[in-house]
Amino acid sequence: MNAAIQASGLGKQYRRAWALRDCTLAIPEGQVAGLVGPNGAGKTTLLRLAAGMLTPTRGTITVLGQRPAAGPAQLARVGFVAQDTPVYSRMTVADHLRLGAWLNPGWDDHLARQRISQLALNPKQRAGSLSGGQRAQLALTLALAKRPGLLILDEPVASLDPLARREFLQGLMEAVAGQRLSVLLSSHLVADLERVCDYLIVLIASRVRVAGEVSDLLASHHRLSGPRRDPGTLPAGQEIITERHTDKQSNLLVRTDGPVLDPAWAVKPVSLEDLVLAYMSRAGNDRPASPQQLKAVS
Amino acid sequence: MIRLSMLQLRVQAITAAVALIAFAVLLAATGPHLASLYAASGLRGCQPASCGQRANIFLQQVDSTGPYAAVYPLSIILIALTPAVTGLFWGAPLLARELETGTFALAWSQSVTRARWLAVKLTVGGLAAMAVTGALSLLFAWWAAPLGRAAGLGGSGNSLAMNQFNPLAFATHGITPLGYAAFAFTLGVTAGALIRRTVPAMAVTLAIFAALQIAMPLWIRPNLFPASHTTVAITSDTTLNLFTTDSPHTFTFTLATDGLAGQPGAWIRSSGAADAAGHPVSTVVPSACSPAASSSGPGPALANCLTSRGIRIAVTYQPASRYWPLQWTETGIYLVLSLALAGYCFRRLSRLS
């Protein structure tokens, strides 16, 4: 299977700070991939690199086999909805559709009009007076009607209320089902992605912590609880993501490709949200531990 | 892409069209009468000896009749300001607003490369800005043609008969307005690309453009071509000033002229007392001329006495024939600056987030 996005050693530096580091990824084509991580983790940077808005400082990235924004043909294959779904506030909805038709050779006017009428948007209304949800839908319509092979959405639902959020994601899913389309969308909330994604990338503090198909991730992560024991005694191949110990008990979240055979453990499946939170809290522990923490562990 | 930039310029274009039409109506309403006054003045085919006088009569007549005395400076101000206005309100927001509101991400994710997007926006906007200023200046050139001819025939001493090198006249006639319009526009675009906020970009555009428009006539334009030098005799047109000094019966004087006989329309850069070779001479009135100075002041007697002592006026000037070379050179400078700024915008945009 071809990769929708392939990155190798990708990094982006702004002045001094690295917004993204050592990012190596291969997101398969034809999937809805979710990019999740806390605010400021580098999600926007990764998406902008993929959309060709930014050029990498280090490493390489290819999108559908080519360098992002390499030319008009490559631009036509990638739809991008930036954060806060910007639209021209002084232009009408109809103006936006005209803009799309003028600037995209593969423009699907029928699809665009159909979506606008489904959404009950008034074509004569200025985009500046649309609600947040309507604006996001207009931006999505523009991106979909150019008939891209890959659709990139940066926090498309972050500023929407729960209803608009559900409608937006529903519209997105319908469009994906109708077109042969890969999607990469980001959110700082797992709940948004859980229902729509087949693939998940967890990005924390400018590094990719885990990436894979959602079903594989869920199958390979387990919550273990049992009598207190030294984490060093776990069999090889079981990687501890988080651990919590009381006097008598140990609670672990481990990653392993094989089954957990030790009968001392009670094994429970993890939810996607637990999994992401586990990686987030582990990333927090990467920081040098304070003396107090060291004492607590020993 | 061309259609999109025209769509985005719609509001500005309508504003400009309304202003242009209002200006055209004003000039069309007053121009024919001005032309008929000229026709009645007898300036066409006048004898060289009487031309200057007739020109002055015509200019005074124009100055005191109808709205011309107001329309003329108003038009000059309008043409001088238009490049700045288009630079501020068309140029500065062109990129700044897209960067400020984030819509650049929408524009750059269409199937048009960033470079083409900028090229079209710069071309459409820049040509529109040049067209507006050019149209204003052409309309005005048509309207003011009789006044220009009268000034060329020696009419002077009237605000309607500006020398063609007068900074305001030079900047509003010929082709220089086109250069200013192109430069102010690209300057605005560049400021917007660098500052990324519309209002500060407008302020910076105004400051830099105004500074250059002041520096140009004062320090740059006079030095584009080496000036010509000549010495002429003191005449009745010479401005002769006399100053007393601390010591009795000793005076100093200055000589100046604002025109050269046989060189109508020349641009006088400086003038002062000199000997026949053009070397500056002492500005102390020679003792032989002191009686004339103390008895009749800075009058013909003193002038004759100074002349008899070999004192002449050295004049540094640009001949009238330099008008078009200067127009082309200055416009060229502004166009080259515009291209350089546009080139910088492309570089900047290719690296911009």
Would the pLDDT of A151 be above 50? Answer: yes
pLDDT tens-digit profile of A5-33? 999 999 999 888 899 999 999 999 999 99
Which among B163, B148, B159, B150 has a CA at the least distance from the CA of B263? B163
Name the domain count of chain A.
Answer: 2
B152 vs A16, more confident: A16
B218: DSSP letter: I
Given pLDDT bands bounded at 50, 70 and 90, which one contains residue A270?
very high
pLDDT tens-digit profile of A164-185? 899 899 989 988 887 889 999 9
C-alpha A156/C-alpha A161 separation (Å) is 12
Range of the structural domain that residue A276 is part of: 216-297
Query: Which residue among A169, A204, A239 closes a domain?
Result: A204
**pTM score, two decimals?**
0.90
In a domain, A210, yes or no: no
Please tell me whether residues A125 and A97 are part of one structural domain: yes
Please tell me whether residues A174 and A230 are part of one structural domain: no
pLDDT tens-digit profile of B191-246? 999 999 999 999 999 999 999 999 999 999 999 999 999 999 988 888 888 888 88
Looking at beta carbons, which residues of chain B come within 8 Å of A75? 109-113
In a domain, A147, yes or no: yes
Looking at beta carbons, which residues of chain A come within 8 Å of B101? 86, 89
Task: Report the interhelical angle of A162-178 vs A132-145 (nearest 10°).
Answer: 10
Q: Mean pLDDT over all residues of chain A?
A: 89
- The confidence score (pLDDT) of residue B157 equals 61
Query: Which residue among A170, A204, A238 closes a domain?
Result: A204
Please tell me whether residues A198 and A220 are part of one structural domain: no
In a domain, A211, yes or no: no
Helix, strand, coil percentages, rounded to 5, for chain A: 35, 30, 35
Question: CB–CB of B89/B51 below 8 Å?
Answer: no
Would the pLDDT of B18 be above 70? Answer: yes
Mutate to test the interface with A, among B2, B94, B108, B111 (most CBs of A within 10 A): B111
Compute the count of residue pairs across chains A and B with CB atoms less than 8 Å apart: 74
In a domain, A209, yes or no: no
What's the rounded mean pLDDT across residues B5-32? 92
- Measured from the Cβ of residue B126, the count of other Cβ atoms closer than 10 Å reads 23
Please tell me whether residues A68 and A163 are part of one structural domain: yes
Which residue in B has a C-alpha nearest to residue A50's C-alpha? Answer: B109
Whether A72 and B111 lie within 8 Å, measured CB to CB? yes
pLDDT tens-digit profile of A36-70? 988 888 999 999 999 999 999 999 999 999 999 99
Q: What sign does the CA torsion over A193, A195, A201, A205 have?
A: positive
B225 vs B248, more confident: B225
Work out whether strand A266-269 and strand A221-227 pair parallel, antiparallel, or are unpaired. Answer: antiparallel
Q: Give me the residue spans of the domains in chain B.
A: 2-223, 228-321
Query: Which residue among A204, A230, A261 closes a domain?
Result: A204
Looking at beta carbons, which residues of chain A come within 8 Å of B93? none
Would the pLDDT of B64 be above 70? Answer: yes
Whether A83 and B353 lie within 8 Å, measured CB to CB? no
- The confidence score (pLDDT) of residue B230 equals 92
- The confidence score (pLDDT) of residue A293 equals 37
Given pLDDT bands bounded at 50, 70 and 90, which one contains residue B342?
very high
Given pLDDT bands bounded at 50, 70 and 90, which one contains residue A286?
low
Stretch 70-109 of chain B: residues touching chain A, C-beta under 8 Å: 101-103, 105-106, 108-109
Please tell me whether residues A241 and A168 are part of one structural domain: no
Please tell me whether residues A190 and A42 are part of one structural domain: yes
| ipTM of the shown complex | 0.88
**CB neighbour list of residue B140: distance below 8 Å, 6 or more residues apart:** B27, B75, B76, B79, B172, B173
Whether B108 and A52 lie within 8 Å, measured CB to CB? yes
Please tell me whether residues A149 and A262 are part of one structural domain: no
Segments in chain B forming alpha helices (H): 2-8, 10-40, 48-64, 68-86, 92-101, 103-108, 114-152, 167-172, 176-195, 198-215, 290-296, 300-308, 323-351
Rounded to the nearest angstrom, the minimum Cα separation between B119 and chain A is 14
Would the pLDDT of A1 be above 60? Answer: no
Amino acid at B25: V
C-alpha B310/C-alpha B282 separation (Å) is 12
Please tell me whether residues A14 and A132 are part of one structural domain: yes
The CATH number of residue A189's host domain is 3.40.50.300
Q: Mean pLDDT over all residues of chain B?
A: 91
